[in-house]
């Protein structure tokens, strides 16, 4: 692993942290809001506002924000996220610990919902291949939820410059930009429909990254305040399990299946058709 | 596809890795940010929430140490999570004490700054990729996210 040392001064750039503090405090003050939609509700959490507000002061997105913070100082936020998520992970663990006996009771549901991830491909792959006429990018884009371990696997198998690599990076970028918010909205919405056991929705929250899990289970906890601790614990445990087993599900089940499924859908005869990007 | 995208993808993969010391310094700053956010969200002042934050800091410190010295491919998130789970399982002697302090730290309030950093971290390459093939990828991504979430929820729902 390459360790590129970063000047501490850059990491401590006060502008970046000050922006984050101001935006977080504002967002927390606005607090949780909801809009009724038919029989369900759309929940809006402070973490949405902080994300959206910061998009406006990101110098890569809006021009005027260059005056507030330059691109170099903004880019240092990337390695900071990795650290910033840890307090949340630690807090999450303290919700899982006390609930461990309850989680053990849900054992088989917990383990097998990991395989529910494969549902991804059944819907997304046909649309990608048949409707959007995507080539092998479709494999990268739809074989998984495209988080870091999934990128690592694609990069290992095909290389990131390959069509598969472009596919996985595309969904990764979307996930980074909007995935967290989308999961929170989706979970909050499904919660209010009453179609699922709240604990099932909580376990499903664990499928993605730490921040996706956080936002998603936060929505659920807001929708079911009386079950708050239990739901957060289930989501956290599921995410822990995903971290532990996700890569193996991807290597041994998801990726081979998506190769096979892609060939079926596209009628591709040879498995190596490079440069199929356009 | 465009060579531009490919180059920038490579640049993206060559991410900056923080050293152990840098991580601890960043963590201290992030802790202050979290205390401010927690204060605004819950009204619990930073002095009252400080013990909780220190406990969290301690857990992460040990987690980062383990990540550095026990190289079995476990990422920091997994170590930190494992430590905090083990410290708070019902049989743990420190469980009650930790839990009563950590009540002062709201779980959603410490996520709010993470999303702020995430939005600040979006790069030119990501904005470009979004502009260029945004629509197709956006639709596919939504299908991927929905499929994964609903798939897992259905399986869990059936087995509960």
Q: What is the DSSP letter of A179?
A: I
Give the model's pLDDT for residue B83.
Answer: 92
- Residue B127 and residue B131: Cα distance in Å, rounded? 6
Among the residue ranges A125-134, A143-152, A203-212, B13-22, the one predicted with the least confidence is B13-22
Question: Which whole-number Å values give the CA distances from B158 to A77, A179, A181, A192, in the listed order?
Answer: 41, 26, 26, 19
Digit-coded pLDDT (tens) for B109-154? 988 898 898 888 877 777 776 666 667 888 888 999 998 899 888 8
Asked whether residue A160 carries a pLDDT value surpassing 70, the answer given is: no
- Residue A107 and residue A113: Cα distance in Å, rounded? 10
Residue with token string 């990764």: A172
Asked whether residue B104 carries a pLDDT value surpassing 90, the answer given is: yes
Give the model's pLDDT for residue B44.
Answer: 93
Contacts of B140 in chain A (CB under 8 A): 124, 127-128, 132, 134, 138, 141-142, 170-171
Contacts of B32 in chain A (CB under 8 A): 17
Average pLDDT over residues A99-128: 79
- Residue A167 and residue A124: Cα distance in Å, rounded? 12
Cβ atoms of residues B11 and A78 within 8 Å: no
Instruction: Tell whether A116 is within 8 A of chain B (Cβ).
Output: yes
The residues that bridge with A33 in the sheet, in sequence order, are: A44
The residues that bridge with A42 in the sheet, in sequence order, are: A35
Digit-coded pLDDT (tens) for B60-91? 999 999 988 988 767 787 788 889 989 998 88
Contacts of B35 in chain A (CB under 8 A): none
The radius of gyration of chain B's CA atoms, rounded to the nearest angstrom, is 20
Residue A209: closest CA among A264, A259, A150: A150
- Residue B131 and residue B124: Cα distance in Å, rounded? 10
DSSP characters over B95-156: HHHHHHHHTTS-TTTTTHHHHHHHHHT--HHHHHHHHHHHHHHHHHHHHHHHHHHHHHHHHH
User: Which structure tokens are listed for B160?
Assistant: 């509960």
Predicted-complex ipTM score = 0.83
The domain limits of chain B are 10-121, 123-160
Q: Report residue B28 CA to chain centroid gap.
A: 15
Q: Which of B114, B133, B155 sits opposite A116 (nearest CB)?
A: B155
**pLDDT band at A273; cut points 50, 70, 90:** very low
- Residue A200 and residue B81: Cα distance in Å, rounded? 21
Asked whether residue A94 carries a pLDDT value surpassing 70, the answer given is: yes
Give the model's pLDDT for residue A172.
Answer: 80
**pLDDT, greater one: A8 or B34:** B34
Average pLDDT over residues A266-274: 54
3-class DSSP assignment, residue A43? strand
3-class DSSP assignment, residue B64? helix
Q: Which of A120, A180, A277 sits opposite B144 (nearest CB)?
A: A120
**N-term to C-term CA, chain B:** 46
Cβ atoms of residues A130 and B97 within 8 Å: no
**pLDDT band at A274; cut points 50, 70, 90:** very low
Mean predicted lDDT score pLDDT of chain B? 83
Give the model's pLDDT for residue A76.
Answer: 84
């Amino acid at each position: 692993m390459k360790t590129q040392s970063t000047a501490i001064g850059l990491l401590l750039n006060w502008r970046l942290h000050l922006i984050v503090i101001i935006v977080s405090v504002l967002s927390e003050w606005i607090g949780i809001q909801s809009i009724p939609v038919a029989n369900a509700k759309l929940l809006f959490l402070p973490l949405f506002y902080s994300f959206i507000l910061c998009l406006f002061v990101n110098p890569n997105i809006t021009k005027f924000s260059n005056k507030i913070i330059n691109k170099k100082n903004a880019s240092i936020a990337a390695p900071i996220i990795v650290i910033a998520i840890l307090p949340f992970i630690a807090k999450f663990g303290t919700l899982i610990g006390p609930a461990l006996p309850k989680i053990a009771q849900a054992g088989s549901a917990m383990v097998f919902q990991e395989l529910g991830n494969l549902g991804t491909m059944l819907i997304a792959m046909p649309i990608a291949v048949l409707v959007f006429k995507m080539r092998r990018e479709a494999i990268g884009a739809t074989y998984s939820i495209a988080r870091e371990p999934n990128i690592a696997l694609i990069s290992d198998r095909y290389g990131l410059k390959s069509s598969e690599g472009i596919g996985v990076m595309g969904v990764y970028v979307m996930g980074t930009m909007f995935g967290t918010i989308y999961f929170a909205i989706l979970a909050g919405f499904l919660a209010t429909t009453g179609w699922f056991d709240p604990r099932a929705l909580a376990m499903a929250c664990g499928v993605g990254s730490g921040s996706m899990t956080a936002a998603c289970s936060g929505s659920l906890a807001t929708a079911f305040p009386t079950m708050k601790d239990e739901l957060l614990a289930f989501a956290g445990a599921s995410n822990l399990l995903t971290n532990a087993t996700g890569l193996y599900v991807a290597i041994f089940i998801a990726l081979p299946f998506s190769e096979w499924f892609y060939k079926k859908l596209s009628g591709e005869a040879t498995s190596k058709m490079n440069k199929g990007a356009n | 596809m465009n060579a531009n995208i490919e180059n920038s993808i490579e640049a993206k993969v060559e991410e900056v890795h923080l050293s152990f010391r840098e991580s601890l310094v960043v963590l201290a700053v992030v802790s202050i940010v979290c205390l401010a956010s927690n204060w605004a969200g819950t009204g619990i002042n930073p002095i009252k929430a400080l013990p909780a934050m220190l406990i969290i800091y301690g857990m992460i410190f040990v987690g980062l140490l383990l990540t550095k010295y026990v190289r079995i491919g476990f990422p920091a998130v997994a170590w930190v999570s494992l430590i905090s789970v083990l410290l708070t399982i019902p049989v743990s002697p420190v469980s009650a004490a930790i839990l009563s302090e950590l009540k002062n730290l709201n779980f959603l309030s410490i996520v709010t700054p993470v999303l702020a950093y995430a939005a600040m971290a979006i790069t030119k390459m990501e904005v470009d990729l979004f502009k260029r093939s945004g629509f197709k990828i956006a639709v596919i991504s939504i299908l991927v996210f929905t499929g994964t979430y609903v798939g897992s929820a259905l399986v869990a729902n059936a087995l509960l």
